[in-house]
Amino acid sequence: MKNAIVTGDSAEMNYAPLLGGAVDDPPEIVCLSLLQWDFAGQRAQRLMNRSARERRVFFVEEPVFGATVPGLDIRRSDCGVFVVTPHLCEGSDDAEAPATEQALLLDELFLEYEVCDYILWYYTPTALAFTWRLDPLLVVYDCMDELSALDSAKRREAELLRLADVVFTSRHGLDEAKRRFHHNVHSLPDRVDLEHFRNARREIAEPVDQARIGRPRLGFSGVIDERLDLELLAAIAEARADWQIVMIGPVVEIAPSELPRRPNIHYLGDRIYKDLPAYFSGWDVAVAPFSRGESTRLIAPVETLEYLAAGVPMVSTSIRDVELVYGRRGLVKIADTTDDFVAAAERLMNRQGDYDYDAWLDRVDEALVSSACDETWARMMNLIDLTLKKLYSEN
């Protein structure tokens, strides 16, 4: 490792000596994600979008199988991120073949784009299978979910925690769990692009596929997977057949046949990030019918912040983070049974009881003041610079 020259007590880094003395530019970022770049505005996409304003960012997506010859599809997003999609062969008897192919393709990427001084930024421990031999300046693990329930993921994560120089977590509770295994863990909860979702509060054209659905409407946006309480969703639809339930998001890790099918449940599929405010603006109430168990014990759905920024009242099951952070402050209604969920949604859409929408919206805006994505990004960069300072001043 090269020695860095660091002056003063601030976290500001003089990158020039660290990066060979040529320029004082920040290190590039190679981000390894489970999600596709076009997936609706998740944490990885928001942070890499922001990072690309000042450095090159390579966002490596999950591979696509079925290629005759392995290769990379590389495109430049509107915000300047290089989106890298590996295309791998399929049907090999060698279980390690996909990792080997991805490792070779990364070599090609680094050679073609002259990637030399970079940070490896992991969102998925599974990427260790094809990145273990790389030599980054720094390894970042941004932990989004508790993986301890899955043995294979737990083993990979243990490896990544040993390798990482700094660990971020997206919610309180996760940081406590990871601090048992790492000395440099920081909880930086998800933030939201307030201005983007506040567009839902204005007059905005409604998407055609939603406009033809009747009202009142309940809406959900996010990954549709085993963490949702599908029985509760079906029961709500049956209890109020006159309500329409709009479900936006990809179906992941469950078969579509497992989804409850009712005339008033509408699965619209995934939608691009920029269009979400237009959908939210046509909802009377947002819902988060998550199951309660090990898989949801530590989740903190960023959609909660999106709904609130959009000015859409919300009902959620008693997910720990949602209940503690928003429920107890009266910003989100909490309900676990079908009757309670339906009653809470009805009070919100009809402005019943002590529910004053304008007063609620004022409290929401006050709570969201510190929830801008730029704040999380700035705090992360400061912690990364501090870690680099420590690493390279000791060598």
Write out 7-67 in H/E/C secondary structure. Answer: CCCCCCCCHHHHCCCCCCCCCEEEEECCCCCCCCCCHHHHHHHHHCCCCCEEEECCCEECC
Percent of the chain at pLDDT exceeding 70:
88
pLDDT tens digits, one per residue of 296-323: 877 778 899 999 999 999 999 999 889 9
Q: How confident is the model at residue 253, as a pLDDT?
A: 84
Q: Which residues pair with 288 in a beta bridge?
A: 316
What are the structural domains, with CATH classification, of the chain?
A: 15-191+372-393 (3.40.50.2000), 194-368 (3.40.50.2000)
pLDDT bracket for residue 7 (50, 70, 90): very low
* Whole-angstrom distance, CA of residue 386 vs CA of residue 360: 39
275 close to 249: Cβ distance less than 8 angstroms: no
What are the CA-CA distances from residue 22 to residues 13, 15, 25, 205, 286 (Å)?
Answer: 15, 9, 9, 50, 52
| pLDDT at residue 31 tops 90 | yes
| pLDDT at residue 19 tops 60 | no
pLDDT tens digits, one per residue of 174-197: 777 788 888 899 988 767 788 899
Backbone angles phi, psi at 333, to 5 degrees: -80, 135
Chain centroid to CA 138: how far? Answer: 22
| pLDDT at residue 205 tops 80 | yes
Arithmetic mean of pLDDT, 204-208:
94
pLDDT tens digits, one per residue of 43-56: 888 899 889 999 99
Give the burial class of 270: count Cβ atoms within 10 A of its Cβ; 0-12 exposed, 13-18 middle, 19 or more buried.
middle
| pLDDT at residue 8 tops 70 | no
Concatenating the DSSP letter of every residue in 261-278 gives: --TTEEEEE---GGGHHH
182 close to 161: Cβ distance less than 8 angstroms: yes
Q: How confident is the model at residue 14, as a pLDDT?
A: 55
Q: Which residues pair with 273 in a beta bridge?
A: none
Q: How confident is the model at residue 23, as a pLDDT?
A: 45
Detail the DSSP E strand segments found in 147-191: 166-169, 185-187
Give the pair of three-digit tokens for residue 110.
């680094």
Amino acid sitting at position 219 = G
Residue that the structure tokens 């506040």 belong to: 198
193 close to 46: Cβ distance less than 8 angstroms: yes
Give the pair of three-digit tokens for residue 8.
């003063």
| pLDDT at residue 150 tops 70 | no
Q: Three-state DSSP class for 324?
A: helix
Backbone angles phi, psi at 87, to 5 degrees: -110, 115
| pLDDT at residue 373 tops 80 | no
pLDDT tens digits, one per residue of 238-292: 999 999 999 999 998 899 999 999 999 999 999 998 999 999 999 999 999 999 9
* Whole-angstrom distance, CA of residue 374 vs CA of residue 393: 28
* Whole-angstrom distance, CA of residue 299 vs CA of residue 111: 38
Arithmetic mean of pLDDT, 120-127:
94
- Chain mean pLDDT for the chain: 87
| pLDDT at residue 40 tops 90 | no
Backbone angles phi, psi at 85, to 5 degrees: -115, 110
Give the pair of three-digit tokens for residue 356.
């004053």
